[in-house]
Amino acid sequence: MRSIRRGDTGVAVSEIRSILVGLELLAEADPDVFDEALETAVRAFQQSRGLGIDGMVGDETWGALDAARWRLGSRALFHSVPDALVGEDVRSLQERLLEMGFDAGRPDAVYGGRTARAVAQFQREVGLVPDGSCGPQTVKALRRLGRKVVGGRPQWLREAEAFRQSGPNLVGKTIVIDPGHGGGDDTGVVVPDGPLRWNEADLVFDLASRLEGRLSAAGMRVHLTRGPSPAAPMSGAERAALANTLGADLLISLHLDGHESESAEGVASYHYGTGNGLSSTVGERLANLVQREIVVRTGMHDCRTHAKTWDLLRLTRMPTVRVDLGYLTSPADRERLIDPMFREQIVEALLAAVQRMYFPVERDVPTGSIDVRQLRLALADKS
Ligand SMILES: [Zn+2]
């Protein structure tokens, strides 16, 4: 759908307004006009949810607003098949369960089988009927106990452990590479350059194909989420679903950035995390390795790693990183990105980061030190 923005009027605007009032981000539900106060509230909401902050309501922000209406206890929660219940109330439930050490899976706001099993386990321990659904009694028990019990972040420790147990070898592991955009008129950032037009979708596809070749040569099973010119655009949720179906061990999503100012430049990496300090430790490690290897090997400006709740990061069941490999709108970044030799350097950095993910933490090596041509030898040594 087209983004709803400043100046718009109508039912959708009043709907957005009433949700934001319910969240106490806006004082009153007054006129059905998207005014300045509403835009400010939308920005605050986007910031609180780790979404891109543009003050407009597109698909992703709308999805988050829709889910945000639900507060824990305002409706009965249960595992519904095939259409799972989704909402902020589910996320609160999952976060509380995780804090208490119950394996509710990633706090993705979706009431799936794993969440139901964790609820049943909780119910059993507090002496309730373990039916796996979350009604008033269960909410009451959670409220009573939730605050007292402060655990670590069991889910992320479990995820890290599962990853560690999969062993240090790249051979046979499945990786999904996601070149951003592509399809229809979704070209991502486009910058005209004389008679040429550089676009994000094509450049990240080239990077993805190069990376595919190198990772396959290292023995990994590699899948791309799209071809060079897909028929239709793909959403983050669709890309995540594909990686989940493939049972991928890792996902790397490749993007370029753009800004109205030519002076914005550099590389940034994103992993799953909420503003409440819950984040995927394995995903964060992957993002840090990717970020550091690229910065050290290419000298690009370091725009750091960030926690976000974007669909692609939230819905994937494997460690996932999205990396924005420089600004196509920056003359300095662009000049390098359009050079195939430079893109090869980026691919080497990504390869080194993937390799380091599978080294045990205590045997990790300094950034920039892996000679990726020696990859197979290093692997043979480890296995
Ligand atoms: Zn992009």
User: What value does the mean pLDDT take over residues 63-72?
Assistant: 84
Rounded to 5 degrees, φ, ψ at 267 are -115, 140
For ligand 1, the distance from its centroid to the CA atom of residue 9, given in whole angstroms, is 29
For ligand 1, the distance from its centroid to the CA atom of residue 2, given in whole angstroms, is 18
∠ CA 223-363-215, nearest 5°, is 20
The residue ranges of DSSP E strands in the chain, in sequence order, are 174-179, 190-193, 196-199, 221-224, 250-257, 267-272, 302-308, 320-327
Cα distance between residue 34 and residue 242, in whole Å: 36
For ligand 1, the distance from its centroid to the CA atom of residue 298, given in whole angstroms, is 20
- The amino acid occupying position 208 is A
Which tokens in the block code for residue 275?
Answer: 């503003």
Per-residue model confidence as pLDDT tens digits over 350-371: 999 998 888 766 666 677 776 6
∠ CA 380-381-382, nearest 5°, is 95
For ligand 1, the distance from its centroid to the CA atom of residue 180, given in whole angstroms, is 6
Per-residue model confidence as pLDDT tens digits over 190-235: 998 888 889 999 999 999 999 999 999 888 999 999 999 899 999 9
Nearest to 149 by CA among 107, 103, 96: 96
Which tokens in the block code for residue 179?
Answer: 């070149």
Cα distance between residue 64 and residue 204, in whole Å: 28
Confidence (pLDDT) at 155: 56
- The amino acid occupying position 371 is D
Q: Is 163 helix (H, G, I), strand (E, B) or coil?
A: helix
Rounded to 5 degrees, φ, ψ at 10 are 120, -175
Distances (CA, A) of 9 to 31, 42, 63, 70, 76: 9, 15, 19, 25, 34
**Cis previous bond, 82, omega within 30:** yes
Could you tell me if 11 and 34 are in contact, meaning their C-beta atoms sit under 8 angstroms apart? Answer: no
For ligand 1, the distance from its centroid to the CA atom of residue 230, given in whole angstroms, is 16
For ligand 1, the distance from its centroid to the CA atom of residue 195, given in whole angstroms, is 23
For ligand 1, the distance from its centroid to the CA atom of residue 186, given in whole angstroms, is 9
Beta bridge partners of 223: 176
DSSP states of 208-223: HHHHHHHHHHTT-EEE
Cα distance between residue 352 and residue 361, in whole Å: 14
Which tokens in the block code for residue 346?
Answer: 């980026």
Q: Is 269 helix (H, G, I), strand (E, B) or coil?
A: strand
Per-residue model confidence as pLDDT tens digits over 302-315: 999 998 889 999 88
User: Which one of 112-126, 165-179, 233-247, 272-286 scores highest in mean pLDDT?
Assistant: 233-247
Per-residue model confidence as pLDDT tens digits over 70-129: 888 888 899 988 888 988 889 889 988 877 777 888 888 899 999 999 999 888 877 788
- The amino acid occupying position 270 is Y
Per-residue model confidence as pLDDT tens digits over 86-95: 888 898 899 8
Rounded to 5 degrees, φ, ψ at 195 are -75, -10
The band of 151, judged by pLDDT with boundaries at 50, 70 and 90, is: very low
Q: Are strands 196-199 and 190-193 parallel, antiparallel or unpaired?
A: antiparallel
pLDDT above 90 for 176: yes
For ligand 1, the distance from its centroid to the CA atom of residue 356, given in whole angstroms, is 26
For ligand 1, the distance from its centroid to the CA atom of residue 147, given in whole angstroms, is 40
